[in-house]
Amino acid sequence: MSSPEKLKVQLLPEEESEIKRFELETKRLEQSKLSPDDFRRFRLNNGVYGIRGDENRHMIRIKIRFGRMNALQLERIAELTEKYTPKKLAHVTTRQAIQIYEILRSDVPKALRGFAEAGLTTREACGNTVRNVTAGHTAGIDPHEAFDVTPYADLLSLYFLRNPICQNLPRKFKIVFEGSDKTDAARVGIHDIGFVAQKKVVNGKEVRGFKVFVGGGLGSTPFPAQLLEAFIPEELYIPTAEAVIRLFERNGERKDKNRARLKYLVAKWGIELFRQEFLTERTQVILTGSGRQAFWKLNLEEEKAPVLKSPAPTTASANLPGFDAWQRTNTFEQKQKGYYGVNVRCPLGDISSDQMRNLARISRAFCDGRMRTTILQNILLQWVPQASLRALFAELGKAGLAAKGAETIADITRCPGADTCQIAITHSKGLALAISKLFESGSGLGDDPAFKNITIRISGCTNSCGHHHVANIGFHGASKNVDSRAVPHYQLMIGGHTDPNGGAVFGKRITQIPAKRVPEAVRAILEVFKKEKGAQESFIQWAQRVDTAKFKEIVEPFTLIPPFDQDPEMYEDLGDPGKPFKLVMGKGECAA
């Protein structure tokens, strides 16, 4: 069920305490009574990052727990984005959070208070703890799901929030829920723990439970998750998560932060030994009473259609240019007859304060404000009446939110890149924008059914915040000397993907391409694929049978640029025009 649309009159004691402490620690930093390193660790645990180029401004990451939020919460994010950020722009992340940028340090406590009043938190959105618990954005409405994982994700996220057992883990810890092994809305195979909903007949009775995966992760060295248990009954899912976390807390690497994720522990022990230790640990968790949801209320009430104050609008011109194409790519029929899920594209993951405010208003009118952020950096409206789709499209168009192509090749995933990130090498947004122009109306590429389901994902460095490792066509930022000058490049990866059953295949490393020539290389790859693919062959299947040498041959012409004095613009980064490229990498904070 959606959270009630009501601002808090009084914050929880722990929320009030955390905000006041942030004010105090900020003053101590300014008075040189607190070291910058100690302040960094403190602010990260409260969801506040440093940004490139200005130590007095910050990025705030707002946890949208398992992606669910209501119209009031989106309005509050819009209000605070407009009030405290110079660009008045928010960014939807690949973990269903929303980030706002360049907030003055002195304004951070006021922003945190504003979020808390709307039932939002930034607590543990960063730091070495359990991060935002994510779930497939189609949860509750997916025709293929075994059951709705929403209440399970909800309970688990609350269980670990501020929980002492996960306040000082060796590294960050990511948990995901997926409602079906027939869909892949959550990318289970790249998480520390992944729960996939299952039903099983036990003693003649159908019971709910989960298939459990552990040890996945991306970063500079990706690992696919491995199967821990084929089925656990639902009452064991919290003890299971706690047991894995306790094992990680005691045995994870603490000296070398580059090898401190759970994936390294699972790889070091091997899955068989890890499973043995885990089963022993879970028994202890259960015997001590810790981790049992009997202490918590698991609300399994089936979500019902919203009751709107006024009927959802159904009137709109029968002649709506673009509606049919938008309906094909951005909507799907829910398991509840007569209702649709509607993907609202946030191109490159960005959405302005005005657009957020308008989307909140529109969502109230059409679906009672029920929405989810997605790991593809969009916002999904749920429970839109079928009869209202035309009227909804018209309203979204007025707000600049009716772009077609959601979850198609045109819907490019990217990290924030060097615009704000301290460790990014390149401006990933600039490349994403340049590639997206290949798929604009009239180009022929964006509407070609052969390309529709291909994924393109971009990261500004090797850390894979943009999920380049599991992209069909992936890129990460790099630097390479040409003509005695540093030139922004992108490492091309081909054939990566995840599958609904917890698997992950990482892309083949092909070669590095100068940033300005990457769009040409993408076009060439697509053209060769269309020419050479089999009748029913997907891009992934084609990429698996084509060797690395062939891909290098395809893009080789685009790896070269002329001498600097002939074309100096080729030595610039996309997204940073007119400026000479410099390899500048600050201190990363993910492992701080």
Tell me how long the chain is.
592
pLDDT at residue 483, as a whole number: 87
- Pick the closest to residue 464 from 484, 439, 491, 487 (CA basis): 491
Pairing of strands 54-62, 68-69: unpaired
* Cβ atoms of residues 101 and 89 within 8 Å: yes
List the pLDDT tens digit at each of the 592 positions of the chain. Answer: 555 678 887 899 999 999 999 999 999 999 999 999 999 999 999 999 999 989 999 999 999 999 999 999 999 999 999 999 999 999 999 999 999 999 999 999 999 999 999 999 999 999 999 999 999 999 999 999 999 999 999 999 999 999 999 999 999 999 999 999 888 899 999 999 999 999 999 899 999 999 999 999 999 899 999 999 999 999 999 999 999 999 999 999 999 999 999 999 999 999 999 999 999 999 999 998 766 655 567 778 888 889 888 888 887 777 899 999 999 999 999 999 999 999 999 999 999 999 999 999 999 999 999 999 999 999 999 999 999 999 999 999 999 999 999 999 999 999 999 999 999 999 999 999 999 999 986 677 888 999 999 999 999 999 999 999 999 999 999 999 998 999 999 999 999 999 888 899 999 999 999 999 999 999 999 999 999 999 999 999 999 999 999 999 999 999 999 999 999 999 999 999 999 898 887 776 665 5
DSSP string, 356-391: HHHHHHHHHHHHTT-EEE-TTS-EEEEEEEGGGHHH
* Cβ atoms of residues 188 and 176 within 8 Å: yes
* Cβ atoms of residues 545 and 461 within 8 Å: no
Quick check: helix, strand or coil at residue 256? coil
Under DSSP, the state recorded for 440 is S
The partner residues of 458 in beta bridges, in order of sequence, read 414, 475
Under DSSP, the state recorded for 88 is -
At residue 12, what are phi and psi to the nearest 5 degrees? -65, 150
Pairing of strands 175-178, 193-202: parallel
* Cβ atoms of residues 540 and 497 within 8 Å: yes
Per-residue three-class SS string for 120-161: CECCCCCCCCECCCEECCCCCCCCCCCCCCHHHHHHHHHHHC
Domains of the chain, earliest start first: 1-127+342-390 (3.90.480.20), 134-295 (3.30.413.10), 413-571 (3.30.413.10)
Rg value, the chain, Cα: 24
Quote the CA–CA distance of 379 and 91 in Å, as a whole number.
11
H or E element at residue 414 = strand 413-414
pLDDT at residue 319, as a whole number: 85
pLDDT at residue 441, as a whole number: 66
Q: Exposed/middle/buried for 302, CB within 10 Å: 0-12, 13-18, 19+?
A: exposed
